[in-house]
Amino acid sequence: MDLSGIHVPLITPFDERGEVAYPALEKLAHDVREAGAHLVALGTTAEAGSLTGAERRRVLDLLDRTNLIVGADTPDQLREAGGARAALTLVPPFVRPGEEGVIRHFEALAASSPIPLIVYHVPQRTGQPLTGDTIRRLAAIDGVIGIKYATGVIDTDLVDLLADPPDGFAILCGDDVFLAPMLAMGAHGGILASAHLATERFVRFQREREIAEGHRLARLSTALFAQPNPTVVKAALHAAGRIPTPGVRLPLLPALAPSFYGSLLE
């Protein structure tokens, strides 16, 4: 499966009553696809943990799961995501099972999953670091096809991994501000919340690698992550008239001082 390119982990827009604004979500997904990017549904950026089971299922049906990567971390969620292109599956958070536990966890999930898995490696959130050797062991599991690499640093493990990537294993940038250097080192693309804005520019940059544009997009990403994701992204989309409210669900709170977000693309 070709996972190269820019993937946008869609936000979940809410209306004035705090309910999912499905028409706005459908339009947002259409715009992303028209700009040449791919879709990720029900990831962290979607506030998936705050959605009900019924809301999750309606999102999958609305967006046509056959064209989606879907955030799914448990056997039940993987079954629910059946028919999708792949699942974006988080390294087990909070419990810190150790690297051998992570291997066993993904072996068990992959053995029962109806769709391939992309490992979501974000140790700042999970508390579980992974060495390059462990990532190579994950890549060798049948049914594990890639990784969203979001360690917050460009470390020696990443350099070694990109210098000699496992066959058939996609390495995707998960730290938006590091898109340019990771692409330069050989990453296949990125899963980038920032690409809700300036989607066509992100897609073109992934293809053309123009240095000055990479700097501009990194500055945009820095601004969009100035407060907890996806609060600033939502404020910017609302300021642009693309979603009905900038609302989020608890435990998130709306971004502070949203008035300047409409000028982020200037």
Q: Does residue 89 form part of some domain?
A: yes
Share of the chain above pLDDT 70, in %: 96
Q: Does residue 215 form part of some domain?
A: no
Closest listed residue to residue 8, CA positions, set 221, 150, 171, 193: 193
CATH number reported for the structural domain that contains residue 32 in this entry? 3.20.20.70
Residue 187 phi, psi (nearest 5): -60, 150
Contacts of 179 (CB under 8 A, 6+ apart): 173, 190, 192, 202, 205, 206, 214, 217, 218, 221
Q: Does residue 121 form part of some domain?
A: yes
Model confidence at 262: pLDDT above 60 = no
Please report the pLDDT score of residue 264 as a whole number: 56
Q: Does residue 116 form part of some domain?
A: yes
- pLDDT (tens digit per residue) in 179-196: 999 999 999 999 999 999
Active-site annotation holder among 27, 148, 149, 261: 148
Active site residue 261: no
CB-based contact 132:147 (threshold 8 Å): no
Model confidence at 174: pLDDT above 60 = yes
Please report the pLDDT score of residue 1 as a whole number: 87
Confidence of residue 265 (pLDDT cuts 50, 70, 90): low
Q: Does residue 258 form part of some domain?
A: no
Share of the chain above pLDDT 90, in %: 94
CB-based contact 29:68 (threshold 8 Å): no
From residue 178, alpha-carbon distances to 170, 191, 192, 214, 253 in Å are 16, 11, 10, 9, 26
SS3 assignment for 78-103: HHHCCCCCEEEEECCCCCCCCHHHHH
CB-based contact 234:262 (threshold 8 Å): no
Active-site annotation holder among 22, 120, 234, 261: 120
Q: Does residue 190 form part of some domain?
A: yes
Active site residue 149: no
Give the total number of structural domains in the chain: 1
Work out the mean pLDDT of the chain and round it to a whole number.
95
Q: Does residue 81 form part of some domain?
A: yes
Range of the domain at 83: 5-209
Q: Does residue 264 form part of some domain?
A: no
- pLDDT (tens digit per residue) in 150-159: 999 999 999 9
Please report the pLDDT score of residue 261 as a whole number: 52
d(CA 233, CA 153): 22
- pLDDT (tens digit per residue) in 158-171: 999 999 999 999 99
Q: What is the pLDDT averaged over residues 124-144?
A: 97
Q: Point out which residues pair with 90 in neighbouring strands.
A: 120
In which element (H, E) is residue 62 found?
A: helix 53-63
- pLDDT (tens digit per residue) in 54-70: 999 999 999 988 999 99
Confidence of residue 258 (pLDDT cuts 50, 70, 90): low
